[in-house]
């Protein structure tokens, strides 16, 4: 720690944060204290909000929606606020990245990279605010003209997870705001700070009061109450498939609010023998280790053509051994800490399950303690069979299971052998094979000869039990609108009663 710049040291004492409703910072005695997963040192104290606080936040968002100061202004004016937000994030990027590291445990270099993407999300949201439009029908006959209006859906409840607290927030907020909606956000209790920082940033950028509210607290209290709330028009939920299912029940039992669900994944990376194997191995190492594998689009199932499988697994193991795991505040670290104690235990339990089921650990397979933090070596299992827990379950950790195939049909079949359908990566030098396999694997995001590439212009979302709807870009904005069909009679209407 001694060689770190002062701003990258741990805070002397945990910093206190309020919650943000109707443009005002509020506080309560009841607080949640968060320790940095990389160091075991208390860093933040956020409010445990009550259900009354949530109701206040929803009322504020409703008033801000109805008064039209946001929903009724032009797309150009909304774009102005979003562009100013991007500029302020640029100015505060070090501070935001620092809090991401302290609460999540991700490496500082990665956190800074993610913030570049967040800035791009606000810039893209600004463009989308100006581009949003409806449609018209000029083919309804001489006397009838049809217009399709896109209107903001209203008050959105946004529930985000702890793995990418700021990035997932920024992949949604600009597009929600671009549509003209107002929102109430509930971040994961363990990573709330950067969602609160965004409130300061949006306020400075000129967002009208009440349009962005943050209520902190646990998922079981505040999160669940949001999904059951009768005055929230839509929930955008990102998290586990189990809680996503609970959101569906809660929406059905309350006001039939619309749901956007971004859920889990067990994503394949398919490597054909004709691929650039060195590059594919580098991508596979990155795909399972990025964000310590606590990533919905982690490529956690390697599906490699049998004739190069041994060579490829050795190449991959050698690369994984070189990954620098450790203190997330160290700028040279590539893989940081596991974010929560519960997740640390879950990952270690899966590693044990893999070993006892007979899979072979080629690299990693163990935890290590470092400066009071919780860390796990990126792990590669070979000899995995499709019935093992490490083959079927989303582990949400740096644990990669390797399978082999002989034909493209078999590769597709293994890739689709999951309840999930979030993302996939494919490596081959044959374009026809690449396109043919891409069309047959059921996943919402696909990378050919690359991995986790993309920009906020491209939609995000899953097939099967990985979710409903799409976030980001023009597709993302449209999710937060509803369509009104308007019929205009251009002549005198024929009377019904003569």
Residues 226-255 that bind ligand NAP (CB under 6 A): 227, 238-240, 243, 246
**Shortest separation between residue 171's beta carbon and ligand NAP, angstroms:** 8
Choices 10-18, 149-157, 183-191, 315-323 (CB under 6 A): range interacting with ligand NAP: 183-191
Residues 277-296 that bind ligand NAP (CB under 6 A): 296
- Interface pick for ligand NAP out of 123, 327, 394, 478 (rule CB under 6 A): 394
Smaller CB separation from ligand NAP, 121 or 205: 121
Tell me which residue has its CB nearest to ligand NAP.
219
- Interface pick for ligand NAP out of 43, 49, 79, 263 (rule CB under 6 A): 263
- Interface pick for ligand NAP out of 36, 46, 163, 289 (rule CB under 6 A): 163
**Cβ atoms of residues 155 and 185 within 8 Å:** no
**Cβ atoms of residues 420 and 265 within 8 Å:** yes
- Interface pick for ligand NAP out of 160, 300, 374, 481 (rule CB under 6 A): 160
**Shortest separation between residue 83's beta carbon and ligand NAP, angstroms:** 25
Residues in binding contact with ligand NAP, number by CB under 6 A: 30
Residues 350-379 that bind ligand NAP (CB under 6 A): none
**Shortest separation between residue 148's beta carbon and ligand NAP, angstroms:** 29
Residue 188 binds ligand NAP, judged by CB under 6 A:
yes
**Shortest separation between residue 455's beta carbon and ligand NAP, angstroms:** 16
Helix/strand/coil for 113? helix
Q: Residues with catalytic annotation?
A: 262, 296
- Interface pick for ligand NAP out of 121, 159, 183, 317 (rule CB under 6 A): 159
Give CA–CA dist 356/350, Å, rounded: 10
Choices 202-210, 212-220, 365-373, 447-455 (CB under 6 A): range interacting with ligand NAP: 212-220
Give CA–CA dist 79/177, Å, rounded: 9
Nearest to 265 by CA among 395, 162, 353, 159: 395
Q: Where are the alpha helices (DSSP H) in 139-276?
A: 165-170, 173-179, 193-205, 224-228, 241-253
Residue 114 binds ligand NAP, judged by CB under 6 A:
no
Report which secondary-structure segment, H or E, holds 77: helix 75-91
**Shortest separation between residue 192's beta carbon and ligand NAP, angstroms:** 8
Give CA–CA dist 89/82, Å, rounded: 11
Smaller CB separation from ligand NAP, 109 or 224: 224
Residue 189 binds ligand NAP, judged by CB under 6 A:
yes
Smaller CB separation from ligand NAP, 34 or 78: 34
Nearest to 247 by CA among 232, 225, 227: 227
Residue 479 binds ligand NAP, judged by CB under 6 A:
no
Residue 223 binds ligand NAP, judged by CB under 6 A:
yes
Nearest to 123 by CA among 158, 166, 176, 79: 79
42-47/155-159 β-pairing: unpaired
Give CA–CA dist 215/222, Å, rounded: 8
Give CA–CA dist 434/18, Å, rounded: 50
Query: Order of strands across the sheet with 182-186?
Result: 24-26, 19-21, 212-214, 182-186, 155-159, 234-238, 258-262, 467-468
Give CA–CA dist 294/162, Å, rounded: 9
Q: Which residues bind ligand NAP (CB under 6 A)?
A: 159-163, 168, 186, 188-189, 218-220, 223-224, 227, 238-240, 243, 246, 262-265, 296, 394, 396, 422, 462, 467
């Amino acid at each position: 720690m001694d060689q770190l710049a002062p701003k990258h040291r741990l805070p002397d004492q945990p910093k206190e944060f309020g919650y943000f409703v109707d443009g005002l910072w509020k506080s309560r005695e009841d607080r949640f204290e968060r320790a940095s997963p990389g160091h075991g040192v208390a860093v933040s104290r956020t409010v445990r909000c009550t259900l009354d606080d949530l109701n206040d936040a929803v009322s504020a968002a409703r008033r801000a929606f109805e008064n039209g100061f946001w929903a009724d202004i032009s797309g150009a004016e909304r774009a102005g606020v979003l562009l100013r937000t991007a500029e302020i994030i640029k100015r505060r990027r070090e501070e935001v990245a620092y809090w991401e590291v302290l609460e999540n445990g991700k490496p500082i270099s990665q956190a800074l990279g993610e913030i570049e993407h967040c800035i791009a999300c606000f810039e893209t949201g600004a463009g989308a605010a100006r581009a949003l439009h409806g449609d018209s029908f000029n083919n309804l006959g001489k006397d009838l003209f049809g217009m399709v209006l896109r209107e903001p859906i209203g008050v959105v409840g946004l529930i985000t997870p702890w793995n990418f607290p700021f990035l997932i927030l920024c992949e949604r907020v600009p597009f929600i705001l671009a549509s003209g909606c107002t929102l109430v956000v509930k971040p994961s209790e363990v990573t709330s700070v950067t969602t609160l920082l965004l409130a300061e940033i949006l306020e400075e950028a000129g967002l009208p009061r009440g349009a962005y509210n943050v209520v902190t607290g646990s998922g079981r209290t505040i999160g669940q109450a949001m999904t059951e709330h009768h005055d929230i028009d839509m929930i955008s939920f990102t998290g586990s498939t189990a809680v996503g299912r609970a959101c569906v029940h809660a929406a059905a039992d309350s006001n039939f609010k619309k749901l956007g669900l971004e859920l889990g994944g067990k994503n394949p990376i398919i490597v054909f023998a004709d691929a650039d194997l060195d590059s594919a191995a580098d991508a596979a190492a990155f795909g399972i280790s990025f964000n310590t594998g606590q990533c919905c689009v982690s490529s956690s199932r390697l599906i490699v053509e049998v004739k190069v499988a041994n060579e490829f697994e050795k190449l991959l193991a050698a690369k994984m051994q070189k990954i620098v795991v450790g203190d997330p505040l160290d700028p040279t670290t590539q893989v940081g800490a596991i974010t929560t104690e519960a997740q640390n235990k879950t990952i270690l339990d899966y590693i044990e399950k893999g070993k006892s089921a007979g899979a072979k650990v080629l690299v990693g397979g163990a935890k290590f303690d470092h400066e009071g933090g919780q860390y796990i070596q990126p792990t590669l299992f070979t000899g995995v069979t499709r019935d093992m827990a490490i083959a079927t379950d989303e582990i949400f950790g740096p644990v990669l299971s390797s399978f082999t195939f002989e034909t493209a049909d078999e590769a597709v079949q293994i890739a689709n052998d999951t309840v999930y359908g979030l993302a996939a990566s494919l490596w081959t030098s044959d374009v026809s094979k690449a396109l043919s396999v891409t069309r047959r694997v059921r996943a919402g995001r696909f990378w050919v000869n690359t991995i986790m590439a993309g920009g906020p212009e491209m939609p995000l979302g899953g097939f099967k039990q990985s979710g409903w709807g799409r976030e980001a870009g023009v597709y993302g904005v449209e999710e937060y609108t509803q369509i009104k069909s308007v019929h205009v009679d251009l002549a005198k209407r024929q009377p019904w009663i003569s």
